[in-house]
Structure 1
Amino acid sequence: MGTKEITYEGTAINGFAALLINLIALPLLAAVSANIGMSSGASILLTTIFAASFFLMLPGYFSQEPNEGRVMVFFGKYKGTFTQTGFFWVNPFMNKKKLSMRARNMEAKPIKVNDKIGNPVLIGLVLVWKLEDSYKAMFEIDAQTMADNKGNGSIGVTVAGRMNAFEDFVRVQSDAALRQVAGLYAYDDNEADTNELTLRSGGEEINEQLEQKLNERLAMAGMQVVEARINYLAYAPEIAAVMLRRQQASAIISAREKIVEGAVSMVKMALHKLSEEDIVELDEDKKAAMVSNLLVVLCADEAAQPVVNTGTLNH
């Protein structure tokens, strides 16, 4: 979808030059026309024209800062977008709708969605967006009516009202895009094939997909997402406790595997050292008993309590 924005090419006079004409030339002409030797009717007509011109020029002044724009509308017809910075005067009958083209930051509160396998999760995002096409922003969506926050029928005309309306549009679309992306992936790799991308492990890839989905949705409104990132991810409260226990069980199993692996290695080393240094000669039964005792000691959760044998059981 191509841009529909065009640059305003109508008359735009330096504001200070127009101000000189407005404050000096027009009052002077009105004073001269009132005092020159002509019929009173003609004198009154000229004076009225110059005085009316003085007041009609006043609405045409405006100043514009960097990264601001004004959508110029002349009796309902779009004439272009004015983006120059400075102090200017244009046709006073031109409707100058001011917009901010600067980047804006928005944080979406966490929402509850279902991941790929149906688990409810809470997910939130933060994004940076800005206006790219002022025509689409003003005329492809009903931004002006949305800017009427009071709902009393008066159309909001301030730049703050318009930008808040655009932000509401971005918020609704970001909610939809977030639900769409979250539904394509499982929460973590405990719930799916370990080779698949997950919300927890996806990182930049998930963020890039989210940014792409958002830009597809916002293109019609002339807005662009500069950056989008998931900033909150957790299980929904109703399953959080169960999932925590499962994660704890998984961690315990992994830890046990490491402990057993280390214990077997230590038992092997102990038997090898005893045999190599000829400290004691053990038959198969005693080796089995020693292996059993060492594994119990090394794999136990609590420290072993040694028993010292000071004699013999044989009398």
Structure 2
Amino acid sequence: MTTTTSHTPEPEGLAGLEGPADVPARPARLIQNEVTTEIPVHLLFRDEAGPVSVPLRPTVVARRQGTGEQPRLRRPMQPKPRPAPELDPDLVERPARVLPGAAGVLAGACGAAGCLATSWWAGVLPQLAVEALRLPASAGAGLGPAQWAAYAGAGALGCVGLGGLARGRTGRAWVLGLFGRYQGTVRRTGLLWVNPLLLRRRVDVRLRHWRSEEMQAADGNGVALRVVVLVVWRVKDTARATLGVEDHELYLRECVEAALARVPVEMPGATRGSAEVTADALTRMVVRDASMVGLEVFSVRPVRVEYAPEVAAAMHRRRIAALDAQARATMLTSVVDSVEDTVTTLTMRGLVELDDYERKALVKDLTVAFCAGRGETAV
């Protein structure tokens, strides 16, 4: 019987090696989407000396669905802090150019005197005024173009002189603007002369305090609160406070509300120093936000803290229960200490000799007696 055996030709370079006759076929790829690099076998057994450069491609295996393989965890990117909004760098308080009030009074007097002299020149001044002022008789030139021009100049001088008079008060400042452009700030007091063409805005620069209405807040556990805060502040830069925002008082109120939304507020007496910590945190946040618009904040302090109406009843019962539990724990500790001192004293003085059972019974009786004496029922 003749058996025919098919022989698979061996690759070049492996003819002299011994191995099994039947070489199993390479199994199919288990990973369908893998990318590998195949190296010819004859390159591994070259006799030539010297390095052989074989371009290799890295193996890339994609993530397989349903195999439990997890993707690489990337470090979350921290958001970059947004820079604070900046106002116009030229919008900084600077002193305005004004004159003493005497200059305006003098200009107004000159204008009135010019109108009087023009009336005498034109012959329209009443005779009684001429006699009272002891003026010579007028030539009576009449109201011509020259007289009308003199009237216009004297009237304009008088209007400009008297119309520019202003009174500067302590704790008040004037912010001046011309056609929408900032011209300076007047902090001087007394009678002043300001260009009547300039728009004036009065600003209070005194130290002020603002007691807010009830605002929403929360404690460290997220319980809703109603807080009334007292803010001590003043306007430091009148240009930014007046022209940088529409209403600097409303802006300050919004800053306080934003700070209350970020800082937890504790009830009075919850923890030692919690009120001071809360006040310091609120002050720092409000100072940072309000300084951009020229407001100087000295303190933001909660003066009244209450639970919100929707949780007030529940939190009141919880607080009463906590106080009751604390009182019971204190009373129990006191009773145990008293019983221990009594039993120790009796034993050390040799008044009684007790075994374990009798000691337990004595401790129980003394505990009941001390609790009854304190008006409590022993369990």
Q: TM-score, normalised by structure 1?
A: 0.75
Matched-pair identity in %: 24
Question: What residue number does 2:117 align with?
Answer: 32
Q: Is the 8 A contact 2:104 2:162 kept in 1?
A: no
Question: 1:52: how far off?
Answer: 2.7
1:1-315, aligned counterparts within 5 Å? 4-10=91-97, 12-23=98-109, 25-35=110-120, 40-143=144-247, 166-182=248-264, 201-300=273-372, 302=375
Q: Counterparts of 2:217 and 2:105 in 1: how far apart (Å)?
A: 58
Contact map agreement 1:58 1:92 (CA 8 A) in 2: no
C-alpha distance in structure 1 between counterparts of 2:149 and 2:329, whole Å: 102
- My pick for the range that moved more, 86-95 or 237-246, is 237-246
Given that 1:62 and 1:89 are in contact with CA atoms closer than 8 Å, whether structure 2 keeps it comes out as yes
Q: Which structure features the higher share of strand residues? A: 1
Distance 1:286 1:266, change over 3 A: same
Q: How far apart, CA to CA, are the structure 2 residues paired with 1:204 and 1:286?
A: 54
1:35 Cα shift? 4.4
Classify 1:51/1:265 alpha carbon distance in 2 versus 1 (closer, same or farther; 3 Å): closer
Task: Decide which moves more: 221-230 or 240-249.
Answer: 240-249
- Residues 303/242 of structure 1: CA separation in 2 closer, same or farther (3 Å cut): closer
Calculate the aligned-residue CA RMSD, in Å: 2.8
Q: Displacement, 1:203? A: 1.9
Relative to structure 1, the CA distance from residue 238 to residue 201 in structure 2 (aligned partners, 3 Å threshold; closer, same or farther) is: farther
Higher relative contact order (CA 8 A, sep 6+): 1
| Rg (Cα) greater in structure | 2
Q: Tell me the CA shift for residue 207 of structure 1.
A: 0.7
Q: Which amino acid aligns with 1:15?
A: G
**Which has the higher mean CA deviation after the structures are superposed, 79-88 or 264-273?**
264-273
Secondary structure, counterpart of 1:112 in structure 2: strand
Q: What is the letter of the counterpart of residue 88 of structure 1?
A: L
Residue 241 of structure 1: how far off its partner (Å): 2.8
- SS of 1:16's partner is helix
- Judging changes above 3 Å, is the alpha-carbon distance between structure 1 residues 47 and 247 closer, same or farther for their aligned structure 2 residues? closer
Does the 8 Å CA contact 1:33/1:43 hold for their aligned counterparts?
Answer: yes
* Counterpart residue identity of residue 171, structure 1: R
**Comparing both structures, which one devotes a greater share of its residues to helix?**
1
Q: Please give the alpha-carbon distance, in whole angstroms, between the structure 1 residues aligned to 2:116 and 2:370.
A: 108
Partner Cα separation in structure 2 for residue 283 and residue 252 of structure 1? 36
Distance 1:249 1:59 in 2: 72
Amino acid at match of 1:298: F
- Provide the aligned length of Structure 1 versus Structure 2: 270
Partners of 1:81 and 1:111 lie apart in 2 by: 35
Unmatched segments (≥5 aa) in structure 2: 1-85, 122-138
Q: How far apart, CA to CA, are the structure 1 residues paired with 2:303 and 2:359? A: 56
CA deviation vs aligned residue, 1:84-116 (integer Å, no higher than 9, x gap): 111011222122211111122211122233434
Structure 1 residue 189 displacement after superposition: 9.9
Structure 2 CA distance for aligned equivalents of residues 181 and 86 of structure 1: 45
Asked whether the 8 Å contact 2:224–2:308 carries over to 1, the reply is: yes
The whole-number CA distance in structure 2 between the counterparts of 1:15 and 1:87 is: 5
Q: Is the 8 A contact 2:231 2:299 kept in 1?
A: yes
Q: CA deviation at 1:125?
A: 0.8
Q: Partners of 1:213 and 1:284 in 2: how far apart?
A: 64
- Cα separation, 2, equivalents of 1:51 and 1:189: 71
Name the TM-score, length of structure 2 as normaliser.
Answer: 0.63
